[in-house]
Structure 1
Amino acid sequence: MGKQENGQEDNVILFPGLIAKLVEKGMTSLKEKKYYDALRYFQESTELEESHPQARYGLVITNIELNRLEEARKHCESMLNEGIGQYYDILQVYVSLLVQLGDYQEVVHLLETVIAEEKLPPNMAESFYQLLDFSRQMTSDSVEIVEDYEEDSIDGMTNTEELIQNLEGGDPDQQWGAIQRLSQINSPKVQEAYRSFLKGKENNPVLKSYLIQILKELHSKETFEVHKFGETFEVNIGQLEDIFHEKFGANVLDRLDKSLSQKSPSLYEMVQQVWWHYLFALYPKSPKPLHTETWACALHILGSALIEGEETTEEIVDQYEVDEKEVESAVNHMKVIESLILTLNDSHT
């Protein structure tokens, strides 16, 4: 906990049951789908007691719910290495994460080792064997794909060029596929294709967010010029932080929670998805104006319109005491973004 000048350890006296209360709040927030609140409580718990099993497991589950699979994987891996929590329960989550992340070779290596060295619990054995069989098949298929690729293309350049062409001129589905596959190819041509895509005025802003996220996961330190919604700006991938973005998003939902969650829980859950989709489309920019009440009101109006609720726009605006024109602009912008997301999702089906 730190040291004093005389070299003595600081004596930090915790309130009785503080960690248990923080973990309980984290679990409650998780159940209520207030994931950023849950994340904060679990982080505070582990700062006070690093090896607390429930808090550490809470970090895993919360990161999964937030689609931060790499973060969840790291937390799972450290729990396994440190012997924290129920080993096989953690292992099951860890293997599922590896499958979702496409790391099938690691699944095969891990499960073959575990099966050879230990006796699996009867209630989990079938699941582990199924995951092992699936991952073996996927790694085998990957080898076949590589062999076909080597036969059909000269030194791999043809395939890369085709992917770049899809990124530059394909439909959203082809562009999304190209982004995923190009992320495994590190070359100046690919980097240049990324630059061109991010600053292209006609390219889908949601796909640009995916690409920025992938570049961040690849630990890029480069600066890229990005065009979104009529604005061109520079983004240093290495300096991107999600903290403020997420905090503002959570604050808006907390405000909306007071007005909507008790009245219509299902509607509140639906507009949560709309809100996070919208923030992701804007990423790494933040919504304007940075006014919690305005965006909570806009989401309330949008949600009410989606279910053809009885409340009028004027009645909702009065509840939040905000500028009606700013709210109208916010609602319209979210509708535009949501239509883009739906277009992208439809192209994947």
Structure 2
Amino acid sequence: MAEQQGRRVIPFPGLKDRLVERGLDMLQNQENVEAISLLEQALEIDENDVAAGTSLAVAYYENNQWSESADLCRRMLQEGSGEYDELVELYVMNLIQLRRFDEISSFIQPLLEENEIQPEKAARLKSLIDLGKQQKEIKESEDESFHSFQLQKDLEQQMIQAAALAKQNIRPVKDDIITEIEKDETHPFVKTLLLNILREQGIADETVVCKWNKEISVSPSELMEPFDQELYQKAAALLSNESDQPQLAEIAAELLQKHAFLLYPFSWRIDSAEIISKAYLKLASEYMGEEEAFTGFDHKELLEEIRRLEKVEMV
């Protein structure tokens, strides 16, 4: 048994080439995760395969795995394998995405000092250094100008502000954002927007959220996405299976989603997806003109909660 375990597994003839070919097809179809899996298998069979290595580095880059792509490019350049110019450019593009701008010059400058480098290649390397410098200046400018945050008074403007934050590195102003979340007067919808941005950018700072006469201290980075919460998922699934009244179910699902976002990071006070889905079907019926939709509905606490959520003014 020990002897069998020590034997090297011999792959089927041509397996590596088929994995590379299939991986390239996946990469061209922008199925990056599948491409990575296939190309990693090919590289395990032959770690020196140039096509597998280069294609995997590209797949990593396309899948936003810039560290993995940069490491692979660096290794191949050190080993002298692969298309040199292509790997250099891909390596620099990874450094830009990683915002490691200083490394670009320190990597390229020694290459420029080689006496035998071709003029056109030298020009391209210099342009990559310039690109790195430009990106560094942009980042520094952003960091200098983005040093404070305060919500405007108009709700519509607040939502625009929150949308803009989602596209920036919020770490310079994370304390200001937390302050806005913790204010009683901040709109519950805006609180959710800001809290979700903290979550998406991995901010772990303690944040006290007060909503709907509830208070909780959370670490945003540890929160679920608003619509990944189990109770919402179950209620939404029940509504999606409501085949008898599809139009009514669609309206109910939209209302359920809106309220889930307003409640976040809290959920409904009643822990029953069946009762919640029925309540939103009744609310949808009310929207469609049925005045007595909630007649006989016994869950007064949930009804009061829904009414309170419906009274929230939106833009």
Per the normalisation by structure 2, the TM-score is 0.53
Whole-Å separation in 2 of the counterparts to 1:48 and 1:284 = 42
Does 1:60 pair with 2:48? no
Q: Which residue type is aligned with residue 45 of structure 1?
A: A
Match of residue 135 from structure 1? 132
Q: By how many angstroms is 1:78 displaced?
A: 3.6
- Greater radius of gyration (CA): 2
Whole-Å separation in 1 of the counterparts to 2:96 and 2:87 = 14
Q: How well do the aligned residues superpose, as a CA RMSD in angstroms?
A: 5.2
Q: Is the 8 A contact 1:182 1:190 kept in 2?
A: no
Q: Which residue type is aligned with residue 132 of structure 1?
A: I
Match of residue 201 from structure 2? 214
Q: 1:323 to 1:202 in 2, by over 3 A?
A: closer
Q: By how many angstroms is 1:92 displaced?
A: 0.7
Whole-Å separation in 2 of the counterparts to 1:20 and 1:98 = 30
Q: By how many angstroms is 1:91 displaced?
A: 0.9
Structure 1, unaligned runs of 5 or more? 150-158, 241-279, 299-321, 338-349
Deviations along 1:307-336, one digit per CA (max 9) or x if unpaired, are xxxxxxxxxxxxxxx875789759x76xx9
Q: By how many angstroms is 1:21 displaced?
A: 0.6
Does 1:18 pair with 2:15? yes
| 171, 176, 185: which one aligns with 1:183 | 171
Whole-Å separation in 2 of the counterparts to 1:47 and 1:226 = 48
Q: By how many angstroms is 1:23 displaced?
A: 0.9
Match of residue 284 from structure 2? none
Deviations along 1:184-238, one digit per CA (max 9) or x if unpaired, are 68x9x479569869xx8424878766654532xxxx78898999xxxx9978958
Match of residue 117 from structure 1? 114
1:1-349 matches, within 5 Å, as 5=2, 9-117=6-114, 119-139=116-136, 160=147, 162-163=148-149, 165=150, 171=158, 174-175=161-162, 180-183=168-171, 189=175, 201-203=188-190, 211-215=198-202, 237=221, 288=233, 329=250
Q: Is the 8 A contact 2:95 2:104 kept in 1?
A: yes
Q: Which residue type is aligned with residue 125 of structure 1?
A: A
Whole-Å separation in 2 of the counterparts to 1:38 and 1:80 = 22
Deviations along 1:234-278, one digit per CA (max 9) or x if unpaired, are 7895899xxxxxxxxxxxxxxxxxxxxxxxxxxxxxxxxxxxxxx
Q: 1:190 to 1:329 in 2, by over 3 A?
A: same
Deviations along 1:267-322, one digit per CA (max 9) or x if unpaired, are xxxxxxxxxxxxx996799x957xxxx9xxx9xxxxxxxxxxxxxxxxxxxxxxx8
Whole-Å separation in 1 of the counterparts to 2:45 and 2:222 = 29
Whole-Å separation in 1 of the counterparts to 2:74 and 2:25 = 25
Whole-Å separation in 1 of the counterparts to 2:110 and 2:71 = 20
Tell me the SS of whatever aligns to 2:189: coil
Q: By how many angstroms is 1:104 displaced?
A: 2.3
Q: By how many angstroms is 1:61 displaced?
A: 1.8
Q: Is the 8 A contact 2:36 2:56 kept in 1?
A: yes
Q: 1:124 to 1:11 in 2, by over 3 A?
A: same
Whole-Å separation in 1 of the counterparts to 2:222 and 2:17 = 36
Percentage of matched positions with identical amino acids:
19
Per the normalisation by structure 1, the TM-score is 0.49
Whole-Å separation in 2 of the counterparts to 1:203 and 1:35 = 34
Aligned length: 241
Deviations along 1:163-199, one digit per CA (max 9) or x if unpaired, are 4x369997456446656344368x9x479569869xx
Deviations along 1:75-110, one digit per CA (max 9) or x if unpaired, are 333433444422321111111222344332222222
